[in-house]
Structure 1
Amino acid sequence: MTAFRPALVIVDVQEDFCPPSGALAVQDGRDIVPAINELLSLDFVLKVATKDFHPPDHVSFASNHTEPNNKPFESLITIQNPLNPEETQETRLWPDHCVQGTMGSELLPELNATEFHHIVEKGQDKRVEMYSAFADPFVNPNVSRSELAKLLRDKQISDVYIAGLAADYCVKYTALDAAKEGFKTWVLPEVTKAVDPTSLEDVHKGYETAGISLITVDATRQRLEGAGT
């Protein structure tokens, strides 16, 4: 039987994703910080924060496209895999956000960030979108991969617990990729907020199909304390 070795992945709890002044603020995004700090106090084998960390000319920024197809939140574009033009992805355009070296890219100061063992940056390749903290959505081949899978495997992680922002984008795709990478994957819905809360029913159906489980903070604490990690 595989040993229970849990990791916590906190996705993109950054200034630009939170009120009051984030460029791409998720409603009530800051409200999940106390619960995140509670999770960070638990005895996870590995605790990782992820950060969007875009160059200013990133393909997902509406400002880098021409009218009329450059409306943030509305316009959709088709991106070709730069390593295989036959593979394409449709993606939404966003306001400029989490630009490298800006305050918007910083983790929230109220996070107990000293608890993190690693901070994984993503979205640095200007040519591709990268919601998942593991890799961009292209598969034939991937264009950009982070160090997250290696960090988890190096620590022989069995279970990955995921929370953060936003529930319907970066949390969702990080969870789906964690399951694809072979980890038992858990999402904490009470420690996430969504860009579009009406989408969450479909998100959770996708989790069920992928074998991803939903769990509360209390149940997570009980599992970790009971396992004596």
Structure 2
Amino acid sequence: MSTRALLVVDVQLTFCEGGELPVDGGHRVAQDVASYVAAHRDRYDLVVTTQDWHIDPGEHFSDDPDFVNSWPVHGVAESDNALLHPALADLDADVTITKGQYEHGYSGFDGTDAAGRSLEQVLRDAEVASVHVVGLAESHCVKFTALDAVRSGFDTTVLTDLTAPVSAEQGEQAHRELAAAGVELTPSTR
């Protein structure tokens, strides 16, 4: 049996309704991810969370964002809204990856854990063969994390009901890109 990890991407208040860069359905995703993990923790050998943890990400922040390469200030390191959503308080993740301190940091593979290991190294150290990816936002950080996972040789699945895109159109585009790269798209109920 191969080792499987669950990657919980950026389920932070900053990306939920009322946050600095909200995704419609963010709070629902947080609740649904928490419920899913509570019911299915035994399916995973490793649970990893990622967090935007921006210190000085340069052009990523803008007072006049284009919402493509620049964004309003969000996910500021040590701020309350950069913390994981309160719904995940009992998640009991094995590893936390912080990313984007001094760069965009869209992918969980751009970050490191407290020991300085990259996400890829964390997964390799645990002999992970496959990953399931959930979180926020499907059209951005979930997509880039899943693309990097499949490029790194992991069997990669996005659980589509445990994520939400910035917009329906961007979500459809993300699905096309992910499918073309060999990422499986499936609901968590299968």
TM-score in same-fold range (> 0.5): yes
**Corresponding residue number in structure 1 for 2:93:** 116
CA root-mean-square deviation: 1.8
Distance in 2 (alpha carbons) for counterparts of 1:112 and 1:95: 26
Shift of 1:118: 1.0
**Corresponding residue number in structure 1 for 2:46:** 46
**Corresponding residue number in structure 2 for 1:12:** 10
Higher radius of gyration, 1 or 2? 1
TM-score, with length taken from structure 2: 0.89
Identity in percent = 33
Distance in 2 (alpha carbons) for counterparts of 1:60 and 1:6: 32
Report matched runs for 1:211-222 at 5 Å.
Answer: 211-219=182-190
Indicate whether 1:187 and 2:184 are aligned. no
Output the amino acid matched with 1:131.
Y
- Superposed CA offset, 1:162-202 (max 9, x none): 01000100000000000011000000111111112212222
Which 5+ residue runs of structure 1 have no aligned equivalent? 64-70, 76-90, 137-144, 220-229
- Superposed CA offset, 1:80-113 (max 9, x none): xxxxxxxxxxx52111001111111111111144
Q: Taking structure 1 as reference, are residues 27 and 50 closer, same or farther at Cα in structure 2, changes over 3 Å only? A: same
Distance in 1 (alpha carbons) for counterparts of 2:16 and 2:117: 24
Q: What SS class does the counterpart of residue 47 from structure 2 fall into?
A: strand
Shift of 1:38: 2.9
- Superposed CA offset, 1:8-47 (max 9, x none): 001001111011x200011121111232123323211000
**Corresponding residue number in structure 2 for 1:98:** 75
Q: Taking structure 1 as reference, are residues 27 and 146 closer, same or farther at Cα in structure 2, changes over 3 Å only? A: farther
Q: What SS class does the counterpart of residue 199 from structure 1 fall into?
A: helix
Shift of 1:124: 0.9
Q: What SS class does the counterpart of residue 13 from structure 1 fall into?
A: coil
Distance in 2 (alpha carbons) for counterparts of 1:114 and 1:202: 30
2:179 to 203, 208, 212: 208
Shift of 1:57: 5.6
- Tell me the number of residue pairs that the alignment of Structure 1 and Structure 2 aligns: 183
Distance in 2 (alpha carbons) for counterparts of 1:208 and 1:16: 28
Shift of 1:58: 3.4
Distance in 1 (alpha carbons) for counterparts of 2:153 and 2:91: 28
Distance in 1 (alpha carbons) for counterparts of 2:23 and 2:100: 19
**Corresponding residue number in structure 1 for 2:149:** 178
Q: Taking structure 1 as reference, are residues 57 and 159 closer, same or farther at Cα in structure 2, changes over 3 Å only? A: closer
Distance in 2 (alpha carbons) for counterparts of 1:149 and 1:172: 16
Distance in 2 (alpha carbons) for counterparts of 1:190 and 1:34: 12
**Corresponding residue number in structure 2 for 1:223:** none
**Which aligned runs of 4 or more in structure 1 are off by greater than 3 angstroms?**
none
**Corresponding residue number in structure 2 for 1:169:** 140
1:27 to 11, 24, 27: 24
